[in-house]
Amino acid sequence: MIFFISGATSGFGLAMATRFLNNGNYVIATGRRIERLDELKFKFPKNIHTIKLDIRNREEVKSAIVNLPEEFKKIDVLINNAGMALGIDAAQKASLDDWEVMVDTNINGILNCTHYILPTMVERNNGHIVNLGSVAGEFPYPGGNVYGATKAFAHQFTLNLKADLLGTSIRVTSIEPGMCHTEFSEVRFRGDKEKADAVYSGMQALTADDIAETIDWVISRPSHVNINVISLMPTQQAFGAFATSRKN
Active centre residues (catalytic): 147
d(CA 229, CA 231): 7
**Three-state secondary structure readout of 103-154:** HHHHHHHHHHHHHHHHHHHHHHCCCEEEEECCHHHCCCCCCCHHHHHHHHHH
Residues in the chain: 248
Q: How many CB atoms lie within 10 A of CB 45?
A: 7
Rg (CA), the chain: 18
Q: Is 247 helix (H, G, I), strand (E, B) or coil?
A: coil
